[in-house]
Amino acid sequence: MTQAIVFREIGPPEVLRLESVDLGAPGAGQVRIRHHAIGVNYIDTYQRSGLYPLPLPSWLGQEGAGVVESVGSGVERFGVGDRVAYAGGPPGSYSRERLIDAEKLILLPPEVGFEQAACVMLQGMTVEYLIRRLYCVRPGQTVLWHAAAGGVGQIAVQWLSALGVEVIGTVGSAAKARLALELGCRHVINYREQDVVASVREITRGQGVPVVYDSVGKDTFAISLDCLARRGLFVSFGNASGAVPDFSPLLLSQKGSLLFTRPRLGDFVATRAELEASAGEVFARIADGSINVAPSRRYPLEQAATAHRDLESRSTSGSIILIP
C-alpha cells in the first residue's frame, strides 16, 4: 500500500484527500517510482476544478522526481535505484509512490537534485518549447511575458535574458515586480495598477512586440492583442484567470494580421527524442547558470489543498512543490 491524493468530485481545493491505495507490481514497460519531490502546476488546478475534465475518481499531478523502486518486464532503459523525473502523462504524481511508463522518465544528472527537478521538468520544458521551437526568439528582440514572477514565468525571464532578449514582464504586486526585475526583466508592468497597452507601446516606440506569451487567459486576452506588432504572434498557453473568450478570426485581421496559437507541452515532447532533447536543454541551462531554480514553497503531500489555495489566490511566486 501507499498513499496518494485522490479526488472523487470536481470542486474547490477541499476535494483533494489523501487516501491509501494499492499499487501492485509494475506491468510491462512500467516502473514503480518512490517520489522525493512533486511539482505543483496550474494544470493540476484546472483538472481539480473541472476546467480540464478527468474521469472520476482521479489521481492528480503531472510532475515528480524520485527513485526507481522496481521495474516491469521489458524495461531496459532504467534500473532499480536510478534517480529519475518526469512531466506529463496520466495524473498521479501527488503520491508517495506510483507506477509509470518507463518511456516517460528522464534520468537525472547528478548535479540536479530532486527538488530542482520537480520545479523544472514541466515548467522548464514548457519554456524550452515556447521560446526555442514554437517561436524561436532572437537576441535584441523585445517580448511580452505575462505572470513573469510565476513558476513558468521565472524560468522564462531568466532564460530569455540569458539569450539577450528584452523581456517586458507583467506581474500582480510590487513584491513580484521587484522579483521579476531581479531575475532579468528589462521592464515590469503591474497589470493591476498600470495600463499595459500604453506602457508596451511606449517601451516599443509605438511598434508593439513580435510575440506575447499569455498564460493568464481571460483577463489579459484583449490587452495582449493590442500589444502585438503587425503580423505578431499571440501565444495563448494557459488560463490562470479563466478561459479565453470565443473570438472571430476577423479580430486577428483587424489587429494587424496576427497569428494565434494555443500550444500544450505534450505536443512538443511527443516522442522520446523530443523529450530527451527538451529535458537536456533545460539541464544544460541549469548547468551553464542561465537558469537558477529552487522551490519557493514546500508543502507536505497531505497539504496539497493548501498549495492549490495559495497558487490560485496568486500568493505564490516561482515554483512550488509537495514533499511526500
Ligand X SMILES: NC(=O)c1ccc[n+]([C@@H]2O[C@H](COP(=O)([O-])OP(=O)(O)OC[C@H]3O[C@@H](n4cnc5c(N)ncnc54)[C@H](OP(=O)(O)O)[C@@H]3O)[C@@H](O)[C@H]2O)c1
What is the contact surface with ligand X in residues (CB under 6 A)?
41-43, 122-123, 126, 147, 149-153, 171-173, 176, 215-216, 219, 237-241, 263-265, 311-312, 314, 316
What is the nearest approach in angstroms of ligand X to the Cβ of residue 74?
30
What is the nearest approach in angstroms of ligand X to the Cβ of residue 300?
19
Residue closer to ligand X (CB basis): 97 or 281: 281
Note whether 167 and 141 are within 8 A (CB): no
Residue closer to ligand X (CB basis): 43 or 322: 43
Give the burial class of 286: count Cβ atoms within 10 A of its Cβ; 0-12 exposed, 13-18 middle, 19 or more buried.
buried
Residue closer to ligand X (CB basis): 101 or 312: 312
Residue closer to ligand X (CB basis): 147 or 167: 147
What is the nearest approach in angstroms of ligand X to the Cβ of residue 243?
11
Joined together, the cell numbers standing for residue 104 give 516517460
What is the nearest approach in angstroms of ligand X to the Cβ of residue 261?
10
Residue closer to ligand X (CB basis): 165 or 179: 179
Residue closer to ligand X (CB basis): 78 or 237: 237
Return d(Cα 183, Cα 199) in angstroms, integer: 20
What is the nearest approach in angstroms of ligand X to the Cβ of residue 215?
3
What is the nearest approach in angstroms of ligand X to the Cβ of residue 70?
30
